[in-house]
């Protein structure tokens, strides 16, 4: 069975710093998707970034980028120039190509301090 | 991207009563999912609801406790029956975009059972 592990329950950095959130997963599949979702206190689940496993190039969305290491089954999220609005829970999630159910990590609470 | 509206946003209910949560999508979607997020936890899939067929429930969830309706391609309801304080959670509706592989979420319904 697929599993997703986020080993950092909570992280805290100063505004404008760079922070990296870690995520590892376990699967025997070769085709899959990986996601980072953000859940601020408003509880709306927002997609931050997605990565298709068949793509070697790391996904980037403005200040957000991933380091996707397929062989190591690692999918970390880097947030550059962090902002107060980045304060939220961040969830890493895995989805098989043929099954649209998400497998979720436990989440990392990120606090950006002014 | 899909826009999802959930009602109610929050409610406080008495033990033993039932509550129905509505999920409305602004476009036709095949697959809809209902998740539960207990306080401080990650998301747990309750069931997958496809239009025209019975919902598929995950281990630990049964139809008698969480009946689901899916009358058309833009709407679904989840009922939490015979509630107890252990049912106090956020319940989220989500839909799958087959073109991008991503899931979009409603704002969630925060349920408190006294």
Q: What is the pLDDT of residues B71-107, one digit of tens each?
A: 999 999 999 999 999 999 999 999 987 777 778 999 9
Residue with tokens 């953000």: A38
- Please give the pLDDT value at position A96: 85
How crowded is residue B74: how many other Cβ atoms within 10 Å of its Cβ? 18
Averaged pLDDT of chain A: 93
Q: Do A45 and B105 touch (CB under 8 A)?
A: yes
Mean pLDDT of chain B: 92
Residue A2, pLDDT above cutoff 90: no
Q: Is A41 on the interface with B (CB under 8 A)?
A: no
Mutate to test the interface with B, among A8, A45, A61 (most CBs of B within 10 A): A45
Q: What is the pLDDT of residue B21?
A: 98
Q: Do A101 and B48 touch (CB under 8 A)?
A: yes
Is A52 at the interface with chain B, CB within 8 A? yes
* Nearest-by-Cβ selection for A104 from B42, B100, B101: B42
Predicted pLDDT of residue B53: 81
Q: Are strands B75-80 and B68-72 parallel, antiparallel or unpaired?
A: antiparallel
Cβ separation of A47 and B107 shorter than 8 Å? no
Contacts for B99 with CB less than 8 Å, ≥ 6 apart:
none
Minimum distance, in Å, between the CA of residue B49 and any CA atom of chain A: 12
* B59 chain-A contacts, CB cut-off 8 A: none
Please report which confidence band the pLDDT of residue A113 belongs to, taking 50, 70 and 90 as the band edges.
Answer: very high
Backbone angles phi, psi at B39, to 5 degrees: -50, 125
User: Best residue in B42, B59, B101, B107 to probe A by mutation, most A CBs within 10 Å?
Assistant: B42
Give the bridge partners for A77, in sequence order.
A21, A66
Residue A1: per-residue pLDDT: 74
Handedness of CA A89, A10, A57, A16 (dihedral sign): positive
Query: What tokens were used for B36?
Result: 């539960």
B68 has pLDDT over 80: yes
pLDDT-based confidence at residue A43 (cuts at 50, 70, 90): confident
In which band, very low, low, confident or very high, does the pLDDT at B55 lie, cut at 50, 70 and 90?
very high
- Reported as a single tens digit per residue, the pLDDT across B28-42 is 888 899 999 998 889
The pLDDT of residue B52: 79
Report the pLDDT value the prediction gives residue B100, as an integer from 0 to 100.
72
Query: Shortest Cα distance from A72 to chain B (angstroms)?
Result: 23
B31/A100 touch (CB, cutoff 8 Å), yes or no: yes
């Amino acid at each position: 069975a697929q599993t997703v592990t986020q080993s950092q329950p909570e992280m805290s950095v100063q505004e404008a710093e760079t922070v990296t959130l870690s995520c590892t997963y376990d699967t025997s599949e070769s085709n899959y998707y990986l996601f980072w979702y953000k859940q601020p206190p408003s509880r709306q689940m927002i997609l931050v970034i997605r990565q298709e496993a068949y793509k070697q190039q790391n996904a980037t969305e403005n200040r957000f980028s991933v380091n996707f290491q397929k062989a190591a089954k690692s999918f970390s999220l880097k947030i550059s120039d962090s902002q107060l609005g980045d304060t939220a829970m961040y969830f890493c999630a895995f989805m098989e190509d043929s099954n649209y159910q998400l497998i979720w990590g436990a989440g990392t609470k990120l606090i950006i301090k002014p | 991207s899909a826009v999802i509206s959930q009602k109610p946003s929050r409610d406080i209910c008495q033990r033993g009563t039932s509550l129905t949560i509505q999920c409305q999508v602004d476009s036709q979607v095949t697959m809809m999912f209902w998740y539960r997020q207990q306080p401080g936890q990650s998301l747990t899939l309750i069931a997958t609801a496809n239009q025209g067929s019975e919902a598929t429930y995950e281990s630990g969830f049964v139809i008698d406790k969480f009946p689901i309706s899916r009358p058309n391609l833009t709407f679904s309801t989840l009922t939490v029956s015979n509630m107890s304080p252990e049912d106090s959670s956020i319940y989220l509706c989500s839909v799958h975009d087959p073109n991008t592989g991503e899931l979009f979420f409603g704002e969630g319904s925060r349920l408190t059972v006294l």
